Amino acid sequence: MKKNILLFILATVAAVSCYKEDPIVPVQEEPAYTIEDSSDPAKHYIYETWKNTGVYTLYEFDEVDYAWNVSSISDNILVPMDESMLTEAVDYAREVLFDIYDDDFKKKYFPMKVFLADSLNSDLYASDPLYNDRVSVYGRSYIAIGQIRPETFPKTDEQILEAVGKVNGMLWGDLIYRYSLMEIPDGFFSPCEELYGQNMSGAPEDDLVSYAKGLGFWSFDEFGIYDTILPDRYGDVSDFVEMMTTHTEEEMQAEMEGYETLVIKYNILRNAIQDACGVDLQEIGNAKAANRI
């Protein structure tokens, strides 16, 4: 998918990773965070997560914590949540992200920071509802979870399941794969190699989903200039992960019936991630989607 990140090339600075295992040597130091233990269960969980994995869960933060990066400036605007919702926020973050993976996985594949936010908005597209108050956004060293305020806080099983898909799709497609923390076999991409990012202007407006599935995609790019822009490689991975983590295996088989390319890509991606990372994404979907049935 087209991402709302504005990249500005800095002539004198090399682009390098901000992940825990591949530390950077920045021109200016990233802010230091003090994580202290507490008798409050939510704060204690944040402390234990940081102590065991090195991941910072931040609910109090400033723009410099997410907007600055060695190689880019983010278009994201993260609005801090009210601390009065911290218990609900941590439980929600555990449900849609943290409790899905073990500590060893978090150490290796999670970004350095997870922000818990009131809202996640866009600077460049401030007037476009599509880019504002989003469920999740990402930056080079973080993922952010939004809508943590009373009037929008996800409460139903469907809302929570949607967040599971968005957050985990972003984790795998926009962070793990984008920043080369694992390799995905060429066989996943090769059936659609000539189609990534293309505008399929002849697609039938009344049946775009079926048309995209026939090409080997789950949908068109949500953030494309046109409704008929196909996703890029990162968006393709994200879409598959979003589908797998929000549907049971039986539901996935029904969704893919008659779409051979989807079946091929599904099997390749599922097996590759399980072999490389020890995670069966479909088992996540089996567990999470069971709440909906």
SS (H, E, C) the chain: CCCCEECCCCCCCCCCCCCCCCCCCCCCCCCCCCCCCCCCHHHHHHHHHHHHHCCEEECCCCHHHHHECCCCEECEEEEECCHHHHHHHHHHHHHHCHHHCCHHHHHHHCCCEEEEEEEEEECCCCCCHHHCCCCEEEECCEEEECCCCCCCCCCCHHHHHHHHHHHHHHHHHHHHHCCCCCCCCHHHHHHHCCCCCCECCCCCHHHHHHHHHHHCCCCCCCCCCCCCECCCHHHHHHHHHHHHCCCCHHHHHHHHCCCHHHHHHHHHHHHHHHHHHCCCHHHHHHHHHCCCC
Of 68-77, 180-189, 274-283, the one with minimum mean pLDDT is 68-77
Confidence (pLDDT) at 69: 59
pLDDT(277) > 80? yes
Please state, rounded to an integer, the average pLDDT across all residues of the chain.
Answer: 88
Confidence (pLDDT) at 25: 36
Average pLDDT value for residue range 104-109 = 98
Contacts of 63 (CB under 8 A, 6+ apart): 78
pLDDT(10) > 60? no
pLDDT-based confidence at residue 30 (cuts at 50, 70, 90): low
Cα gap 205→211, rounded to integer Å: 9
pLDDT-based confidence at residue 272 (cuts at 50, 70, 90): very high
Average pLDDT value for residue range 75-97 = 97
Residue 252, both tokens? 């996935």
Q: In 3D, which of 98, 88, 99 has the Cα closest to residue 148?
A: 88
pLDDT-based confidence at residue 243 (cuts at 50, 70, 90): very high
- For the chain, the domains span 5-155, 186-289
Confidence (pLDDT) at 201: 93
pLDDT(29) > 50? no
What is the share, in percent, of the chain residues with pLDDT greater than 90? 76
Confidence (pLDDT) at 124: 85
> For residue 201, with 0-12 CB atoms within 10 Å meaning exposed, 13-18 middle and 19 or more buried, which class applies?
exposed
